[in-house]
Amino acid sequence: MKKPLTSKLSTMYRNDPHQWRLVILMIVWMVFMALTRFRKFYTLINFQTMSSQFPEFGLMALGVMLTMITGGIDLSVVGTANLTSILMAFMMIGATDASGSMSGGTIILAFLLAIVIGAACGALNGFTISKLRIPPILATMGANELFSGICMVMTNGNAISKFSRRYAETINNKLFGLIPVQLLIFAAMAAVVWFMLNKTSYGTKLYLLGTSSKAAWFSGINNTGILMKTYITSGICAALGGMIMLANYNSARADYGSVYTLQCVLIVVLGGVNPNGGKGKVSGVVLAICLLRMLETGINRFPKISSYYISLIWGGVLILVMVLNYFAERRPEREIRKMQKKQAAKA
């Protein structure tokens, strides 16, 4: 009875080795935490904290993931997020009456407008990359400067915060007292992206375009259309991320989240997305986010270890996973060679 399970597991492992390596690391860490800080780590509050902080950059990471699958990248997610949150902060200030209250409808309107702004920012990137043929690193980097610059001009470097508290309260609310609204927003967007990748023709076209844009063109794929769609979606994800930041900080500034850009790329690569394009799964990215959040919050439970070590750990885990991949890729060859030696010895 044991055989089928282990062989089933090993086929699953072989199909998605990267994902499973992340799961294993996660399990190792969870066990470690269970042994050392069980009471402090395995609490409902801790899990709620973990899950409420990651929607911010988790959303941006979804966008970066999509763009990376095309073989490009989106370094403008933070600029887009800040631009969106600042614009919406202004809008909500206008919608807040003297007593400091604001209608619920305004919040919905804010989200709808945020999507439009994100789409517009993404469209700029899509245009510069597909029509002007600027390399994605440079195009999105330039766009990020531009968006951040516009944010600066609009705010003069100040934080915008004089809008109704209702916004932050709504977004920081917990549905049924348990599930943070933010997490639901992230889950919804992750589901949308998952659907796009796995249940629509866009997904297949995206992966193939990422593998070879020339072959894609020759196969009749509308490269420009796919790239536009991708960067627009990334823009929307970033904009939603900005809206979450707006709730978490209850204010908007031109320079919030500046570390997120590189962190998103890190999460995405850790999640198994190939920077050269053509490969990547939502599940991988979600796993990567979970793993890193668990590491972070776990480390926080060791007050002797400064939270600054987080950076060290993020970087270290990334390099570790890549080195593991490097050695793992060479294993099948060695195994076959061993088999051959055995056969030669028998003969």
Site for other proteins in 302-331 (CB under 8 A): 305-306, 308-316, 318-319, 322-323, 326
Q: Write out the binding residues for other proteins, residues 170-199 only, by CB under 8 A.
A: 199
Beta carbon of residue 73, minimum distance to other proteins (angstroms, whole number): 9
Residue 8 as a binder of other proteins (CB under 8 A): the answer is: no
Beta carbon of residue 121, minimum distance to other proteins (angstroms, whole number): 12
Residues 204-223, one symbol each (x = binds other proteins by CB under 8 A, - = not), give xx-xx--xx-xxxxxxxxx-
| Crossing angle of the two packed helices 309-346 and 282-300, in degrees rounded to 10 | 120
Residue 43 as a binder of other proteins (CB under 8 A): the answer is: no
Residue 106 as a binder of other proteins (CB under 8 A): the answer is: no
Considering CB under 8 A, how many residues would be counted as binding other proteins? 71
Beta carbon of residue 14, minimum distance to other proteins (angstroms, whole number): 12
Half-sphere exposure of 9 (CA within 13 A, CB side): 8
Residue 7 as a binder of other proteins (CB under 8 A): the answer is: no
Residue 103 as a binder of other proteins (CB under 8 A): the answer is: no
CA-based R_g, the chain, Å = 22
Q: What angle do CA 188, 193, 198 make, to 5 degrees?
A: 125
Sheet strands (E) in the chain:
174-175, 179-180
User: Taking Cα atoms as reference points, which of 194, 191, 226, 200 lies closest to residue 70?
Assistant: 226
Q: Which two tokens stand for residue 26?
A: 């996660």
Residue type, 110: A
139 contacts: CB under 8 Å, gap ≥ 6: 125, 128, 129, 132
Residue 123 as a binder of other proteins (CB under 8 A): the answer is: no
Distance (Å, whole) CA 224 – CA 217: 10
Q: Write out the binding residues for other proteins, residues 267-286 only, by CB under 8 A.
A: 269, 275-276, 278-279
Beta carbon of residue 249, minimum distance to other proteins (angstroms, whole number): 19
Q: Which is nearer to other proteins, 10 or 200 (CB)?
A: 200
Beta carbon of residue 189, minimum distance to other proteins (angstroms, whole number): 18
Q: Write out the binding residues for other proteins, residues 224-243 only, by CB under 8 A.
A: none
Q: Write out the binding residues for other proteins, residues 139-158 only, by CB under 8 A.
A: 139, 141-150, 152-153, 156-157
Alpha-carbon torsion (252, 112, 201, 137), positive or negative: negative
